[in-house]
Each structure stands twice: as C-alpha cells, then as structure tokens.
Amino acid sequence: MVEGPIGVGKTSLAKRLAQSFASELILEQADENPFLERFYRNRRQSALPTQLFFLLQRARQIEQIRQSDMFSPVRIADFLLQKDRLFAELNLDPHELGLYQQVAETLELDPPTPDLVVYLQAPAEVLLKRVAMRGISYEQQIESEYLERLGEAYARFFHDYDAAPLLIVNAATIDPIHREQDYQELLHMILRVKHGRHFFNPAGASLA
C-alpha cells in the first residue's frame, strides 16, 4: 500500500506499481465523497459528514476485498485503511470524534494487514506546489498551515506503526512517474523490503 498526504504522489505511484506487478489496483476514490469540496471550503463545518462518508466507504471496500480474496493474490492500494482515524483526530472536535468512534466500533472494521506500506513524505511547500499543478479546483483552497498539520499527523501515525513492513520515502525531490531512473530506484528498494522499518532518501539512497 502507498500512503502519504495529499499532493505527495501516492495515487500516481500506486498506478505505476500496479502496472509493474500486473496486480489489482484499489484507489481511495475521494472524488466520490460529495462533502469533500465543501470540506476544503469550510473544514470546520463539513468535517464530520466528510469523515463519516469515508468511514462507510472504507467499510464497503474492506468487504469487497474480503469477497475477492481468492481471486486477487496481489493488490496495490493508494491508501491505508487504518489512516482514517488520523484525519478524524485532525479535523473533528471532541464530540464529533466521539460520534465517529461510535460508528467505527459499530461497523467492526477489520482491514487486512498489508505486506508492505510505502509512506511518501514531503514538506508542506512541496505538497502545495504539487496540489496547484494538478489543478483540481476545490483543492486550490488548501492552506500551507493545514498541510503542515497533516504532515505532522502522518509523522506521528507512522512513528508508532508496526503492523506491517514500512518503507519511508523522502519524495520531495523525486518524480517516479516521469523520471524512469527515479522509479527504478524506488522499485528496487520496494522489492528489497521484507520486514521492519526502512528509510529511502534518494539523495543518498540507503536501506537501513
């Protein structure tokens, strides 16, 4: 699975990896959320319905994955199912978070454990430029301050993450979609990771 904040390139990388491995591709499908545009216009007002929609969407995706287990031995996804709580804690007030948790407990989500998580990270200023370049109108309202808080939330989440092998990638200066060498170096690192926590800094590529 490929994870990281908005604009870091996780969907594009997931698509290319799915081609390389000839595997099933599972996308977050954020554009199906009818509250998302309103969320970027007014996060405080629309955070709860946005998060609840994503939570119910995750429940459907988990069920679809379980029903097709025997037919798709390899899958590439552009999101980690467990990261929903990260966004809930970042955007909901305490009462809303309590309601979110109640709904989540009722759904009894039990997502499958990935074989590997590739976590892409980049500074807020890089994410802001990439969001601007891809030109989705409602995303242009995202502020640098929100991206900084989001990056910090991801860092906290993965600091304690040990459910699966983890490759942390400094994605600030690479373009694995348009630069073949960048992609091949990253693919090589992905294939090497079998367990534990590893770091890939393309400026001085190393597996530690």
Give the active site residues: 78
Residue with tokens 């990771």: 193
Residues 121 and 154: their CA atoms lie apart, in Å, by 9
Largest separation between any pair of C-alpha atoms in the chain:
48
Distance CA 111, CA 63 (A): 9
Distance, in Å, from the CA atom of 25 to the CA atom of 76, rounded to the nearest integer, reads 5
The residues near 131 (Cβ < 8 Å, ≥ 6 apart) are 6, 7, 139, 140, 142
Residue 135 burial (CB count, 10 A) = 8
Q: Report residue 28: phi and psi, to 5°.
A: -65, -30
Cα dist from 61 to 50, 81, 98, 185, whole Å: 17, 9, 23, 31
